[in-house]
Chains A and B, each alone.
Chain A
Amino acid sequence: MQRLDPKPGELLDRSRRVSFRFDGKTCEAHPGDTVASALLAAGVSIFSRSFKYHRPRGLLCVSGNCPNCLMNVNGTPNVRTCMQPVQDGDEVKSQHCWPSPRWDLLSLIERLDALMPVGFYYKTLIRPRLMWRLAEPVIRRLAGLGSLKHSNGKPPHYEHQHQHTEVAVAGGGATGMAAALAAAEAGAQVVLVESESELGGRLRSQSGPVVDPDTGAAVPGFELARGWARKVLDHPGIRVLTGSLAFGAYEGRLLSIARGNRLIHLRYDQLVAATGNHEYPLLFAGNDQPGVMLGSGVRKLLNLYRVRPGTRAAVVVADDEGLELALELHDAGVELSVVVDRRSDPSASPAAGRLADLGVHHLRASHPVAAQGRRRVEALRVATGPAEGVSNRQRVATYSCDLVCLCSPWSPAIELPRQEGGKARFDDCTNQHVCASLPAHVHAAGHLEGTRDLVSLLRQGRTAGLRAAAAVRPLGGDAARRLERLDRMDRQLREEARSGKAREEIPFPRPSPGGEKAFVCLCEDVTDKDVANAVQEGFREMELLKRYTTATMGPCQGKMCQMLLAGACARETGRTLHETGRTTSRPPVAPVSLGVLAGPHHHPVKLTPLHERHEAAGAKQMAMGEWMRPFSYGKPEEEWRAVRERVGVIDVSTLGKLEVQGRDAGKLLDLVYTHHFSNLKPGRIRYGVLCGEDGIILDDGTVSRLADDHFYITTTTGNISFVEQWMDWWAVVSGFCAHVTEITANFAAVNLAGPRARTVLSRLTGLDLSNESFRYMRCRTATVAGVPARLLRIGFVGETGWEIHVPASYGAYLWDTLLEAGADQGIVPFGVEAQRILRLEKKHFIVGQDTDALSNPIESNMGWVLKMDKPDFIGRQALRKARKEGAHNRLVGFVTSRRVQEGTAVVRDRQPVGRVTSARWIPHQDRCIGLAWVPDEDSADGSPILISHEGSLLPGRVHAAPFYDPKGARLRS
């Protein structure tokens, strides 16, 4: 292996050198090299070890498709080093081998291969059961490719971006560039997406002369590509995304693109798929040996990275392009051992003539039978004659070589159009799968259509580009005429192609019995024999073969093995390739990291307008959904006592808040809540329970009528988005004139409660707060401490109290003012924990804590909220039925003598029959009070219940009335 002399078109910057470390050894490279090309230039031939047998593997595709060059680069596992630009100081480590890829002790596993035929693990280690329990961890330890142990600390910054375009072109080769230019010149806005670092596709690695179809001049391929790329990049109507992998075509005309650490969502109107194709290996024994390379990869090494991939080559070809590559190898100083031509009767060509002049063995009607060698190919056995197995009519000869260059079949990259709904069909004419029945907004062109010559590629690209542009808006005269001409030509040519002679069928030689392994799937080490055995076992179709052999399930996602598997399956089952089909194309088209998909790590934390006050007061904060709320400021019991005996204030800004306005606002609330609201008088409040159609409680809150057409609603903290959507939905489907607006963040809210609440509040407002003029369940808008406020007199905690809602910006001011005004009354701020105890004493339930997905108002002892006389409300039917049938379970209060945990079971006859939903220890009463679901028959006041308590059963007693102020005299006072 050595570095070749400089040549135009190469990517290397010869004036500079970079150095990097590979498994501890220092290597040199030029900027422009990939890690893999630099390693190859440094003489490395074994790049990795295979998944199952730990066989040595070398560079194969040099296109980022195959699994052979996966390494750990700077802590990132499974990097495709053939695509990874080398950087000064890179730390490169081999994977999945010990101690090194060259000498891997685990390769001893292959000695046991006779014991590991396909599916062996399903047939062994069954009895005794302990065997598998012991074996599984061992197998587990051997699995996997990359290691996460050395992952580099802090994740980088990932980001998500959204873009829009009229025409998206996937693929920046000749076809894609032609499509983009044609569409842009016709006036469409275009985004061109290319996975490689620059435009040009396969032309980039062609140094030989190519005839420019437009000018007729012969220029080196890479120069032609650069010329077009310049035109594309200079066109103001085209945005070019290079180094960008279009990995999925999703519903809603969404192309997902991975670009470095960024995920781009590209919304388009029309998609041109010019994604090209990729070469895949041939099936013969030892086809995985290091030194066996694909022609496209060899061409890249020779022309882009200027590395000689071997010294003596056997070149397997099926067209004149392959012969030209053989000559390129010769020109690069590689000795040609043999040219194996799979065509039986190739027509004369200049390349064939030159090979003859050079005296190279050029075998016709031949195919490789076996690559031989230890740790690197040393010779290729070639059979000449009919392809079906090694028969007597064949001559077999062996040619020594250290490079087998496979100018192999190509498989179209039809994943994107398939994800958009195209159906794959095997086309005998082009001898490949094509995408039939594409949706109208997807235009396929180029290599993925089986097209090969540059003239047709350009024509198809332009046709697709113009069609896409025409679908966006009507074309102008010139462009319209051009499209008409191209359309006609395209139809005619396709018609001719259909009637034309089918290309030569790809032969799938049977592996010679007892011979070396012939690999169908490199990622998973699945051999041809494995496939044959699997078919015999009844796994006779692609999807079953995939699942049984695991072929196509590895990192190459089938790019190397899909067609080999299909070929082997077709051969074993006697079906055609069309009948055999291929497995579903699932996104992503190429592997995409979880980090890119996840994007920036952004989780909002919602803080109330009073948050800083709580922090300053030393509150212990707790997370409640997205919100932070004070758990307590000191001891919850003391806060509790303050509210019961004096006055307390709590920040309730997290309550969901909705405004419902409009002529039909009352009707809407009548529909979504179980209660009556259209008859609620302005200035009054009513408690509301919201049920689903199944009668299950979804939310509760207060509904205040501020004016005839204006309601102000509070919901539970976590349910606000749901309730807003729910009401919006019902307003729309019912045709109500009612507008629902979420204003949670616009208002700060506090609940001032306790026997002295009136005294404190009266100091800050001119409003008459006496019980006669501002009664329980009434609301007013007024000024509090000079601030416009909505005052709701309600009593969640069971004392005289007001919820005071003010514009968020006044929240902190109101808080300070209240604490100041109540200082002489012993006011204290209280937190969530005190509030929970206070409300539990009143037996006020919390939706989602005390209720669950089966709780209806009847069983929750809230039957009084159901107004069955209303013509309709959501859940009415189900609740009517439930009422008729009676309750099966009930939510009841209970007392026990010991502390119980929330979530423990209520037990009868060793069966869980209920559960504790809320429970608190009340120190001064020396008892635990709580809420629990119990069977209806155990729900009468005083009924004994048994609560599971740390393994033993604790007796409790049902307590029907509220634990505190059962008549509600205090909150009404």
Chain B
Amino acid sequence: MSRLFRFDPMWESHPLRDRYDVVVIGAGVHGLATAYYLARRGITDVAVLEKGYLGSGNSGRNTAILRANYRTPEAIPFYAESLALYEELSDDLDYNLLFSQQGHLTLAHTEASINGLRVRAEANRVMGVRSRIIGPAEIGRMVPALDTSSAPRYPIMAALYHAPGGIIRHDAVVWGYAHQASQLGVEVHAHTEVLDLGLQAGRIATVHTNRGTIKTGAVVNATSGWCSLIAAMAGVELPIVSHPLQACVTEPMEPLLDKVIVSANLHVYVNQTPRGEFVIGAEIDPYPSYHLGSTLPTLKSMAFHALELFPDLHQVKVLRQWGGICDMTPDYSPIIDEHPEVGGFFMDVGWGTYGFKAGPAGGKCLAELIATGRTPELIRPFRLTRFHENRLVGEKASAAVSH
């Protein structure tokens, strides 16, 4: 309680030194989590570099939805671990991340998508993740604001109910990790842009920034949106195409919705924050781009589809619209690995639309890999070489919108 009235800096500022054991690029949830779990393992000579302000990338642009109800035996245990870490994270970081574990519903409006949900429900059940298919009557009881009647053009036919899913305060996750990492000795450097990476004998040797050059043996590429550009600095080509993804938020309204609602068929997902705002997200834009700007067609489509689900929201007003950049791999699954040829170049990239959910587990596994040199079982399926070995992960089939 006493902390309530103290306003100590959450993270210290430091001059940038010219040597660190590990340099993490990107102070989002992945980069900071990696630094934090490294520090917990005793590796504290770590600098986290951030081009903008902390959490200015996708960590502050996502719709803060957490879930573990994935489709494949590779993804399910990984995201289940991440969700388990999130459940304990407020306690662990001594910072209330406002995790509202309210439950998550993925709606199906066609028979084919019911089958798709059943694939997930079955795989989840076999692997110990709580998910089940429920019908319109139960959906209606759970979320009275949803139009579960047969009136809509594509009536709701069923849903995958995932009780442990929910929403969290995404910025707080970033700040909490930054705070604890900083407490353990990690240096967090905002407004420090990486301009180039230097190799020596096939290994990472230097990081050139707008504030000077750093010598290091290990670099973590924990950027999103621009991860292929950072990789290119190390001479690494990633099988990634980046697409914008947009979302919008409304003015705060009295509570109406306390479940995360996702409709892949309608390309939209909706939740209501504890402050009362409705957060509405779209699927990725159909074209690749690094442009962060918002577009009108996407805003209109988000509104249109949100109203198909919640007709009563038609008078609710949108306050802001924004975009983020998603790094899509061919199988919609991440690359989390040390590069097989460029020693010391660690990648935690290609998270597509799932990056925020994966932060804690991604950071923890990568920290283990860096610290021990052994790849943890959980991230073995997400190695870079799978694209050459034709061992893709079947998460793409889940649907384009699966938040």
Interface residues in chain A, defined as those with a beta carbon under 8 Å from any beta carbon in chain B: 51, 76-78, 115, 117, 120-127, 129, 132-133, 136-137, 139-141, 143-149, 151, 155, 158, 160, 248, 250-251, 254, 256, 263, 265, 419, 533-534, 536-539, 541, 543-544, 547-548, 550, 553-555, 557, 584, 586-588, 591-595, 597-599, 601, 603, 605, 622-623, 625, 694, 848-849, 852-854, 881-882, 885, 888, 901-905, 907, 910-913, 915, 917, 948, 951
Contacts and interface: CB of A to CB of B under 8 A. Distances in A.
Interface stretch (B5-13, B15-23, B206-214): B5-13
Contact of B258 (A129, A140, A543): A140
B184 interface: no
B307 interface: yes
Contacts of A854: 331, 392, 394, 396-397
B96 A151 contact: no
9 contacts: A115-B4, A125-B96, A155-B314, A248-B296, A265-B296, A543-B52, A544-B53, A597-B299, A951-B125
Contacts of A888: 390-391
A534 B317 CA distance: 29
A547 B60 contact: yes
Given A140-B255, A901-B118, A911-B73, A594 B303 contact: yes
Contacts of A250: 293-296
B294 to A, nearest CB: 6
B122 A123 contact: no
Nearest to B307: A598
A601 B101 CA distance: 33
Interface in B242-284: 250-256, 258, 274-276
B226 interface: no
Nearest to B190: A541
B330 A145 contact: no
Contact of A136 (B11, B98, B125, B171): B98
Nearest to A590: B317
Contact of A587 (B171, B274, B299): B299
B259 to A, nearest CB: 12
B300 interface: yes
A599 B305 CA distance: 11
B149 interface: no
A276 B8 CA distance: 41
A705 to B, nearest CB: 32
Contacts of A115: 4
B4 A256 contact: no
Interface stretch (B41-49, B108-116, B336-344): B108-116
Given A145-B252, A544-B54, A852-B397, A597 B118 contact: no
A599 B119 contact: no
A538 B123 contact: no
A115 B1 CA distance: 9
A601 B307 contact: yes
Contact of B99 (A132, A548, A852, A910): A132
A145 B253 contact: yes
Nearest to B295: A250
Interface stretch (B195-203, B319-327, B373-381): B319-327
Interface stretch (B87-95, B215-223, B345-353, B356-364): B87-95
A149 B254 contact: yes
Nearest to B115: A903
Q: With a 10 A CB-CB cut-off, give which of B55, B56, B390 has the most chain A CB atoms.
A: B390
A155 B311 contact: yes
B3 interface: yes
Given A126-B95, A250-B295, A911-B73, A143 B300 contact: no
Given A144-B253, A911-B127, A912-B73, A136 B4 contact: no
Given A124-B96, A129-B90, A597-B318, 19 more contacts: A127-B91, A136-B100, A143-B255, A148-B145, A250-B294, A250-B295, A547-B60, A592-B318, A594-B306, A594-B317, A595-B303, A623-B110, A853-B396, A903-B114, A903-B116, A904-B119, A907-B126, A915-B119, A917-B115
Given A557-B319, A587-B299, A902 B304 contact: no
B9 A537 contact: yes
A123 B95 contact: yes
B312 interface: yes
Given A122-B95, A547-B60, A915-B122, A139 B397 contact: no
A588 B321 CA distance: 7
Contacts of A901: 118
B78 to A, nearest CB: 14
B251 A536 contact: no
Contacts of B52: 543
A694 B1 CA distance: 56
B146 interface: no
Contacts of A625: 110
A555 B319 contact: yes
Contacts of A853: 331-332, 394, 396-397
Given A143-B255, A533-B7, A854-B397, A905 B119 contact: yes
> Which 6 pairs of residues, A with B, have the shortest CB-CB distance?
A903-B118, A144-B276, A595-B314, A591-B317, A852-B397, A597-B303
Q: With a 10 A CB-CB cut-off, give which of B171, B256, B320 has the most chain A CB atoms.
A: B320
Contact of B274 (A139, A539, A601, A915): A139
Given A76-B315, A145-B253, A126 B390 contact: no
A229 to B, nearest CB: 29
Nearest to A604: B153
A605 B253 contact: no
Q: With a 10 A CB-CB cut-off, give which of A123, A594, A903, A915 has the most chain B CB atoms.
A: A594
A148 B296 contact: no
A588 B318 contact: yes
A544 B55 CA distance: 9
B122 A948 contact: yes
Contacts of B332: 853
B120 to A, nearest CB: 8
A450 to B, nearest CB: 26
Contacts of B394: 852-854
B181 interface: no
B172 interface: yes
B122 A594 contact: no
B290 interface: no
Contacts of B384: none
Given A51-B252, A148-B253, A905-B122, A592 B396 contact: no
Given A126-B95, A140-B274, A594-B250, A903 B390 contact: no
Given A78-B317, A594-B314, A256 B10 contact: no
A587 B127 contact: no
Contacts of A885: 389-390
A69 to B, nearest CB: 14
A555 B253 CA distance: 11
Contact of B251 (A129, A145, A852, A881): A145
A543 B315 contact: no
B143 interface: no
A137 B259 CA distance: 12
A917 B99 CA distance: 36
Contacts of B319: 553-555, 557, 588, 591
